[in-house]
């Protein structure tokens, strides 16, 4: 993990309050797995860095693509940054999905809202290994949808929207495909969604990426701790930023 002023290459609105930010720099060469994040300092006025998952990496261009949603003043200020400007980034942080250990043939990806971006980078890496990917992507409404075509270029996609404007009306758990042919699932989204997915897919091997508000992002402040079910290690908790954000479902209490 390093700190670097990365150059903005592309910055555009892609859905309601949702932006694509492509940044160039050495950090792009250090990303080792999908699910890792970068920590952005928007400006000195916003002291706390914002963690944003990496949605894609281009080794050729030396860029990282981030997809973020405006959640408050800090992310709103970020929307005003323009191509050519530099931005203060620390990363890549955390431990991502262990693609190198996945050797089976059928994967189910389940993403909700702004939990979807890291699954795109994951889908690209899994399909590159010859793994068949089916994705279930959940949005609030049609205007919030993004990257559906990109996922469709990698495999089968089911869309859900809370208001039924596109796809199945309801939540991702209302549109899960038959699990008979699924070897492993991968999910990222709000905690309530992760809890429901974990419950519905009990018995299926999986990986959960947790979206948790962070402080330091480097394991020093305890702002992101989660309880673990097994206390054999005597610790009883994990830090999302440094032990995760990707965990096996049985490793964390949601």
Q: Is 210 in the site for ligand FES (CB under 6 A)?
A: no
Residue nearer to ligand FES on the CB measure, 38 or 145: 38
Binding residue (CB under 6 A) for ligand FES from 25, 94, 118, 217: 217
Cβ-based neighbour number of residue 207 at 10 Å: 22
Q: Is 219 in the site for ligand FES (CB under 6 A)?
A: yes
Contact 114, 144 (CB under 8 A): no
Residue nearer to ligand FES on the CB measure, 175 or 218: 218
CA 92 → CA 104, 155, 254, distances in Å? Answer: 27, 27, 25
Residue nearer to ligand FES on the CB measure, 166 or 225: 225
Contact 141, 118 (CB under 8 A): no
Contact 94, 37 (CB under 8 A): yes
CA 195 → CA 70, 133, 153, distances in Å? Answer: 24, 22, 28
| Options 39-47, 158-166, 200-208, 217-225: segment touching ligand FES (CB under 6 A) | 217-225
| Of residues 221-240, those binding ligand FES (CB under 6 A) | 221-224, 239
Beta bridge partners of 96: none
Residue nearer to ligand FES on the CB measure, 205 or 219: 219
Give me the least distance between CB of 27 and ligand FES, in Å please.
18
List contacts with ligand FES (CB under 6 A).
214-217, 219-224, 239, 241
């Amino acid at each position: 993990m390093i700190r670097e002023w990365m150059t903005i290459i592309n910055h555009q609105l892609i859905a309601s309050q949702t932006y694509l930010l492509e940044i160039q720099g050495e950090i792009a060469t250090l990303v080792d797995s999908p699910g890792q994040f970068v920590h952005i300092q928007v400006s000195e006025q916003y002291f706390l860095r914002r963690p944003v998952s990496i949605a894609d990496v281009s080794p050729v261009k030396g860029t990282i693509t981030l997809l973020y949603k405006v959640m408050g003043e800090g992310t709103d200020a970020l929307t005003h940054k323009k191509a050519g400007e530099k931005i203060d980034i620390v990363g890549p942080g955390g431990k991502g999905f262990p693609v190198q250990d996945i050797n089976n043939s059928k994967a189910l990806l389940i993403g909700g809202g702004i939990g979807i971006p890291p699954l795109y980078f994951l889908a690209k890496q899994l399909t590159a290994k010859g793994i068949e990917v089916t994705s279930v992507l959940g949005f609030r409404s049609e205007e919030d949808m993004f990257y559906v075509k990109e996922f469709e270029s990698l495999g089968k996609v089911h869309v859900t929207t809370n208001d039924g404007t596109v796809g199945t009306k309801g939540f991702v758990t209302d549109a899960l495909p038959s699990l008979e042919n699924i070897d492993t699932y991968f999910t990222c989204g709000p905690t309530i969604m992760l809890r429901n997915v974990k419950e519905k897919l009990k018995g299926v091997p999986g990986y959960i990426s947790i979206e948790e508000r962070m402080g330091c992002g480097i394991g020093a402040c305890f702002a992101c701790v989660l309880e673990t079910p097994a206390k054999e290690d005597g610790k009883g908790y994990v830090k999302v930023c440094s032990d995760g954000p990707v965990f096996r479902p049985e490793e964390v209490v949601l």
